[in-house]
Amino acid sequence: MLKQKGTISKIKGHIVEVEYYDDPPKRYDLYTVDGADGALMEVYASSSPTSVYCLALTPTNVYARGAEVVNTGKTLSLPVGKQLYGRAINVFGEPIDGKQDLDFTHHVSIFASNTNPQNIIVPSEILETGIKVLDFFTPLLKGGKIGLFGGAGVGKTVLLTEIIHNVSTQQGESHMSVFTGIGERSREGQELLESLESTGVLPQVALVFGEMSQNPAVRYRTGYAGVALAEYFRDIEQKNVLVFIDNMYRFAQAGYELGTLMSQIPSEGGYPPTLSSDMAELHERLYSTSENSVTTFETVYVPSDDITDPGVQAVLPYLDARVVLSRWIYQEGHFPAIDTLASNSSALNPDVIGAKHYECYLQAQKIVKEAVNLDKIASLIGEAELSKDNQKIYKRAKIIKNYMTQPFVTASGDNANKSTYVPLKNTIADIESILNGDHDQTPPETFKNILTLTDLSKK
């Protein structure tokens, strides 16, 4: 069979327009460029009856108008196997962690290959993370999806790293983690690798990166690469999979850049008209089956702290839990800086989390909410001028918020060998004790950065 050929007619940033000679190529087909070793383009969309837009996956400085291209008939694929355990690769399957080269015999396409979608199940079991504020206020379903929302520098990546450590440590070899770094800093990727290695969980994690310095086509396809690895571990290696994506907004941003280069008519906020379908295509592949679960944690950068941004809103329909990190809480010195009033979870149901947890959650959330209004009054006239009942509510809210702070193993070299995992049952018991007024006489400041109430005696 003769290979399909064509010529480059236009180059615009990382979008290359190719005019084909004979039959039109299929979407996702890869073109190579004659005379340019390693040059690779992916067919993305039609631009005219006889030409297509291609994503330039490699630098375009070796491309030229009029150059001949050849359709390989293949799609972008990743090497798979146990050699990926503890390794970091890019979207081409090349190692980027400075370790020895990888020798693989099996590859999978980064695009959907769902063979048994009838096997999908609805999650109903809680997955503990050992992080008090998450497990209590926004419990996560095993096999569900949780989004960590926040602006720049409020601790999204640090929180995600701690979740990887805690869940991987507790779940052991029954779970495999896939970390997908989309459009984040190379420094953060290096710090993540070092943190996972120092805490001993790196052998249970496979990492794929398309860092900020990469072109938008590579960043865009890195998201698909991470999902393809998750599908492989779920369906072929029969593992329960933990998928960590940092950052989902950068995936939308990469699509924004590519859409602009292809002169697509933008939708709301300047994003491409395919934003919703792109998000759906990625998220709907991350499902659990009756044999194995896929649990997804994804950070979402909130530009200018505006959660109504269309790129942020596009992620929300696919999440079972939403965790909002607040800059105001961060500046108060509460870590993790989670706004419990703005966060929510579909698991907050007595049939899922149990009657005791649900009742404690309702009481704690009510106190924290009432304290918001009392805080405005106290800032004007002083806490001593509040009524006795309001003083009690105000103080208990402070205790609850301080109790929900927690030291992280992955954020402190001094604690590298010390577990900071707190079982959910301990958190519920402690909150119940606080709600009952057992600690009304204890200064709220003493509750900061403790694991459980038993640590109060140490202070």
Helix H, strand E, coil C: the string for 113-149 is CCCCHHHECCCCCEECCCCHHHHHHCCEECCCEEEEE
Claim to verify: residue 413 and residue 397 sit in the same structural domain: yes
pLDDT over threshold 90, residue 137: yes
Claim to verify: residue 226 and residue 162 sit in the same structural domain: yes
Q: Which of 87, 142, 145, 156 is catalytic?
A: 156
Indicate if 250 belongs to the active site.
no
Claim to verify: residue 109 and residue 18 sit in the same structural domain: no
Indicate if 221 belongs to the active site.
no
CATH number reported for the structural domain that contains residue 429 in this entry: 1.10.1140.10
Claim to verify: residue 297 and residue 444 sit in the same structural domain: no
φ and ψ at residue 438, rounded to 5 degrees: -70, -15
Domains contained in the chain, number: 3
Claim to verify: residue 302 and residue 220 sit in the same structural domain: yes
Claim to verify: residue 82 and residue 154 sit in the same structural domain: yes
Claim to verify: residue 134 and residue 19 sit in the same structural domain: no
**Structural contact between residues 319 and 276, judged by C-beta atoms closer than 8 angstroms:** no
**82-135 per-position pLDDT tens digit:** 899 999 999 999 999 988 888 888 899 999 766 566 778 888 899 999 999 999
**258-300 per-position pLDDT tens digit:** 999 998 888 888 898 999 999 999 999 999 998 899 999 999 9
For residue 415, the model assigns a pLDDT of: 46
Segments forming the whole domain that contains residue 50: 5-75
**83-95 per-position pLDDT tens digit:** 999 999 999 999 9
Claim to verify: residue 189 and residue 259 sit in the same structural domain: yes
Q: Which of 185, 356, 366, 418 is catalytic?
A: 185
pLDDT over threshold 70, residue 242: yes
Among 346, 379, 400, the domain boundary falls at: 346
pTM above 0.85, yes or no: yes
Among 322, 346, 370, the domain boundary falls at: 346
pLDDT over threshold 70, residue 170: yes
For residue 2, the model assigns a pLDDT of: 54
Among 75, 91, 115, the domain boundary falls at: 75
Q: Which of 17, 184, 211, 231 is catalytic?
A: 184
Claim to verify: residue 60 and residue 179 sit in the same structural domain: no
Confidence of residue 185 (pLDDT cuts 50, 70, 90): confident
Q: What percent of the chain has pLDDT over 90?
A: 71
CATH number reported for the structural domain that contains residue 96 in this entry: 3.40.50.300
**296-351 per-position pLDDT tens digit:** 999 999 998 899 999 999 999 999 999 999 999 999 989 999 999 999 999 999 99
259, amino acid identity: G
**Which residue's structure tokens are 């709220």?**
444
CATH number reported for the structural domain that contains residue 30 in this entry: 2.40.10.170
For residue 414, the model assigns a pLDDT of: 54
How many CA atoms within 13 Å lie on the side-chain side of 417? 0
Claim to verify: residue 87 and residue 68 sit in the same structural domain: no
Claim to verify: residue 165 and residue 249 sit in the same structural domain: yes
For residue 29, the model assigns a pLDDT of: 95
pLDDT over threshold 80, residue 416: no
**26-74 per-position pLDDT tens digit:** 999 999 998 777 889 999 999 999 999 999 999 988 889 999 999 999 9
Claim to verify: residue 268 and residue 383 sit in the same structural domain: no
Indicate if 366 belongs to the active site.
no
**369-400 per-position pLDDT tens digit:** 999 989 888 888 888 888 999 999 999 999 99
